[in-house]
Amino acid sequence: MGIIGTAGERQHTHPPERADDLADMELPDQDGAEHRLGDYWKDAPAVLVWLRHYG
């Protein structure tokens, strides 16, 4: 691990072919209410954006 948590060596992204591992994850929203990720694409496609930070 490098300065401020940076990787010492270049990493590679590895998005999965299926979102099965993501589907059952529950994450809280801004009010603390839990949301199951898989519910977002149950009825229609979902665009998930992972923010680098809340800046």
Phi, psi for residue 23 in degrees, rounded to 5: -55, -40
Q: Which residues 7-36 are close enough to bind other proteins by CB under 8 A?
A: 7-23, 25, 27-32, 35
Closest CA to 48 of 14, 23, 11, 13: 23
Residues in contact with other proteins, counted by CB under 8 A, come to a total of 48
Is residue 46 near other proteins by the rule CB under 8 A?
A: yes
Task: Please report how close the Cβ of residue 34 comes to other proteins at its closest, in angstroms.
Answer: 10
Helix (H, G, I), strand (E, B) or coil at 35: strand
Q: Contact residues for other proteins (CB under 8 A)?
A: 2-23, 25, 27-32, 35, 37-38, 40-55
